[in-house]
Structure 1
């Protein structure tokens, strides 16, 4: 991500499967909107957080995916701030509803807190089919 933003790459960045090639592919998809591709940069110039939104004009809904924060910048509300900004941008583009599919269970509680802090509420849970019993 830092390379995509023209930021200094030190080689000490945490590993990620995301790459410049993947971002180029994402940005070439029909639903990609650059105004819904947001980042927060720290005072040191490092990438601190990111949030990408997908607007479905037909249903007038926004999907958050992906959203993340560099561990060195966690606990500062950056992901929440980016998502809040994205909600405003999406509203101005015609969205009336926002959805997200975080894990958010007891073993991974942070996403739930971020999205509930934005006024979102749980309306469904997904259960992996591998958990089904015969």
Structure 2
């Protein structure tokens, strides 16, 4: 299932990017992020890897992420492999919107564990969590 949410935030694209793409600050706004299981890389470049715990609808999974795309201060894409065949693709985009910015987060979760009714429930929870996350980001940027 794929989920895409966007929100206008009260910051320039550079300021929004500085917070949103800073892995050390994920715990301050990204609801899916529970904890780190590897050192946080000092900088992001294509191919950088790191491991975290992601939680959706109470389901925790250890995800090993790889940076698939990086275009500061506009776009970051991550691909992750988790336990049990779960795969996650996540993209962050920031673009100017007047004197503010639009922040867009897309996430796609695939794999056998998320098919069927559980997948529908996870999709609804993921959408809600991402909406709350962009709201949290907006609050931090006020």
Q: TM-score, normalised by structure 2?
A: 0.33
Name the one with the larger strand percent: 2
